[in-house]
Chain A
Amino acid sequence: MAGPLLAIRDLKVEFSTRHGPITALDGISLDVMPGETLGIVGESGCGKSITALAAMGLVPNPPGKVSGGAILFDGEDITRANDARMRQLRGAEISMIFQEPMTSLNPVFTAGDQIAEAIMLHQNVTAAEAWTKAVDLLKLVGIPEAERRASAYPHELSGGMRQRVMIAMAISCRPKVLIADEPTTALDVTVQAQIFDLMRDIQAEFGVALVLITHDMGAIAEMADRVAVMYAGRVVEEGNADAILDHPLHPYTRGLIDCIPALGKVDANADVMPPLAEIPGVVPPLHLLGKGCAFADRCPLVEAGCRDSRPEMTGDKHRVACFVTGSKA
Chain B
Amino acid sequence: MSAKHEMSTSRTAPEAISPLAEAWTVFRRNKPAMFGLFLLFSIIAFVLYGTFLYTGDPFDIVWAPHTMPSEEAAFPLGTDYLGRDLLAGLLTGGGPTLAVGAVAALITVVIGIAVGALSGYFGGWVDDLLMRITEFFQVLPALLFAMVLVTLFSPSLVTIALAIGVVSWPQTARLTRAEFLKIRELEYVTAARSIGARNNRIMWKVILPNALPPLIVSATLTVGVAILFEAGLSFLGLGDPNTMSWGLMIGSNRSYIIEAWWPVTFPGIAIFLTVFAVSLVGDGLNDAFNPKLRER
Residues of chain A at the chain B interface (Cβ within 8 Å): 53, 56, 58, 62, 83, 87-92, 95-96, 98-100, 103-110, 117-118, 121-122, 139-145, 148-149, 151-153, 156, 158, 160-161, 164, 166, 169-170, 172, 194, 197-198, 201, 205
Q: Are A103 and B187 in contact (CB under 8 A)?
A: yes
Mark B1-39 against chain A: 1 for CB-CB distance below 8 A, else 0.
Answer: 110111101101110111100000000000000000000
* C-alpha spacing A117/B14, complex, angstroms: 23
Q: A103-B187, A110-B16, A151-B16 are in contact. Are A201 and B5 (CB under 8 A)?
A: yes
B204 proximal to A (CB < 8 A): no
* C-alpha spacing A3/B197, complex, angstroms: 30
With both beta carbons as reference points, the residue of chain B lying nearest to A96 in the complex is identified as B194
Chain A residues lying within 8 Å of B191, measured Cβ to Cβ, are 96, 98, 104-106, 166, 169
Q: Are A91 and B7 in contact (CB under 8 A)?
A: no
Max chain B C-beta neighbours (<10 A), residue from A87, A139, A172: A87
Selected contact of B17 from candidates A109, A156, A205, CB within 8 Å: A156
Q: Are A139 and B2 in contact (CB under 8 A)?
A: yes
Shortest distance between the CB of B205 and any CB in chain A (Å): 8
* C-alpha spacing A243/B209, complex, angstroms: 50
Q: Are B1 and A201 in contact (CB under 8 A)?
A: yes
Chain B residues lying within 8 Å of A92, measured Cβ to Cβ, are 196
With both beta carbons as reference points, the residue of chain B lying nearest to A190 in the complex is identified as B8
Chain A residues lying within 8 Å of B260, measured Cβ to Cβ, are none
Q: What are 24 A-B pairs with beta-carbon distances under 8 A? A: A56-B193, A58-B190, A83-B198, A87-B197, A90-B194, A91-B194, A92-B196, A103-B186, A103-B188, A105-B191, A106-B188, A118-B195, A121-B197, A139-B2, A140-B1, A144-B7, A144-B10, A145-B13, A156-B13, A158-B9, A166-B191, A170-B195, A172-B195, A201-B1
Selected contact of B16 from candidates A58, A152, A170, CB within 8 Å: A152
* C-alpha spacing A244/B50, complex, angstroms: 83
Chain B residues lying within 8 Å of A144, measured Cβ to Cβ, are 6-7, 9-10, 13
Chain A residues lying within 8 Å of B12, measured Cβ to Cβ, are 145, 148
Mark B150-187 against chain A: 1 for CB-CB distance below 8 A, else 0.
Answer: 00000000000000000000000000000000000011
* C-alpha spacing A110/B9, complex, angstroms: 20
Q: 10 new A-B pairs (CB below 8 Å) besides A87-B196, A104-B187, A117-B195?
A: A106-B209, A108-B210, A117-B197, A121-B197, A139-B2, A143-B7, A148-B12, A152-B14, A152-B16, A160-B7
Chain B residues lying within 8 Å of A145, measured Cβ to Cβ, are 12-13
Residues of chain B at the chain A interface (Cβ within 8 Å): 1-2, 4-7, 9-10, 12-14, 16-19, 124, 186-188, 190-198, 205-206, 209-210
Chain A residues lying within 8 Å of B210, measured Cβ to Cβ, are 106-108
10 closest pairs, A vs B, by CB?
A: A91-B195, A142-B5, A91-B196, A90-B196, A118-B195, A148-B13, A103-B187, A96-B194, A104-B187, A87-B196
Shortest distance between the CB of B63 and any CB in chain A (Å): 57
Chain A residues lying within 8 Å of B190, measured Cβ to Cβ, are 53, 58, 98, 104
Chain A residues lying within 8 Å of B198, measured Cβ to Cβ, are 83, 87
Q: Are A153 and B19 in contact (CB under 8 A)?
A: yes
Shortest distance between the CB of A103 and any CB in chain B (Å): 4
Shortest distance between the CB of B94 and any CB in chain A (Å): 35
With both beta carbons as reference points, the residue of chain A lying nearest to B3 in the complex is identified as A142
* C-alpha spacing A264/B195, complex, angstroms: 42
Q: Are B19 and A107 in contact (CB under 8 A)?
A: yes
With both beta carbons as reference points, the residue of chain B lying nearest to A142 in the complex is identified as B5
* C-alpha spacing A203/B205, complex, angstroms: 31
Q: Are B5 and A198 in contact (CB under 8 A)?
A: yes
Chain A residues lying within 8 Å of B205, measured Cβ to Cβ, are 117
* C-alpha spacing A192/B188, complex, angstroms: 21
With both beta carbons as reference points, the residue of chain A lying nearest to B207 in the complex is identified as A106
With both beta carbons as reference points, the residue of chain B lying nearest to A106 in the complex is identified as B188
Q: Are A106 and B195 in contact (CB under 8 A)?
A: no
* C-alpha spacing A117/B273, complex, angstroms: 45
Chain B residues lying within 8 Å of A164, measured Cβ to Cβ, are 7
